[in-house]
Amino acid sequence: MSKRVFNDYHPKIIGLDWAPGNLILVASRSWGGKSQYVLGNCIAAGTKEEIPVAYFLPGGESLRVAKALVRMQVGPQAFDSGQIMTEKLKELPLYLDDTPDMTIAYIINRLFHLAETKGIGMAVIDGMQDINTSQLDGGTRERELNSVLRLLKAMAEALGIVIIVKSSLSDYGCHQQEQPSARDILDVTEAKTICDQIILLHRVSIMSDYYKMILPLGHPFFKDDGREMVLNLVLDKDMGYFKKAESLYKEEDSQGLETPMYMWYQYSECDDSWHYEFLDEDGMGWQISLNHLNDSPSNEYHILFLSWSGEDFELDPVQFDTLEITKHYALDKAREHFPAVEIPEID
């Protein structure tokens, strides 16, 4: 079988590193945003009509997916009113399959067939917990679902495609507003070992359009940073997919302090350094640090740019009349280095 690897088109998807052969698990709690992310960011605004996608729904409801994608294409007002201009719809190369009682053997056979006949570059499994695993006879549900992940990882590598698996997060023993982690993935104990990327989505509050994307340790965006990467997102209701938040928002009933983005802050009142965090065009987080030089004149600062993946660069020490001018200078340098990124000036 010839593999078709999409080397000429790499969709830019928030939080996702497009690498054929990768198995990616996307999970959230109920109403946590995993469907909007996969349908909106990964397909409607990501692969678009450039990459054929196989979409498996072990739990059925292919009509729900088709309607959601049409709504994203025409906009909510036109869709809800029924005034849909069908000639304006783009034909997405999307192959939906909601065969009842779907097994992993069936999915594997279909993947081989669609790779050969349609040249798919991505496959989505919508609801891993809905797959019929009775053929695996693994003894426990956890072992069976871990085996499913291993088989899907092998298929991704064999076909040279990206496979995304949607999973649920356990609600047991946790507050709905508590930020999830990889250990909350329902009935799967080896996800961090098997999957190449894990993306967790968390709605800040049930009544808001603000979300957090948590990328656990081991995600390709990391090297040896030693902490999770958390992105602030906002759901664009008109388009149906997530965008990077352009301003800081506060979490209700927060269990701890969140590192702010797009504003200057200090770690403590005794800290002589100032910090400013933002996201580049690939969704990578960067921190600007203004470090006061104690053995120099009072307004002299060393400016360091450090990414959450460990990449860094620095500027020569500068001395201006006020700290505010130094901050403006640092942000201007950031805009020069990242011309495609909007970096707001918020004091």
Domains and CATH numbers, the chain: 23-244 (3.40.50.300), 264-337 (no CATH)
Q: What is the pLDDT of residue 304?
A: 94
CA 68 – CA 75 distance, rounded (Å)? 10
- Which residue blocks in the chain are alpha helix, DSSP H? 34-36, 62-74, 76-81, 104-117, 141-159, 191-194, 323-337
Bigger pLDDT: 45 or 266? 45
Is the model more confident about 205 or about 21? 21
The two beta strands, 23-28 and 53-56, are unpaired
- Listed ranges 57-61, 149-153, 320-324, 336-340; the one with the highest mean pLDDT: 149-153
Q: What are the pLDDT digits (tens) for 74-111?
A: 777 767 777 666 655 677 899 999 999 999 999 999 99
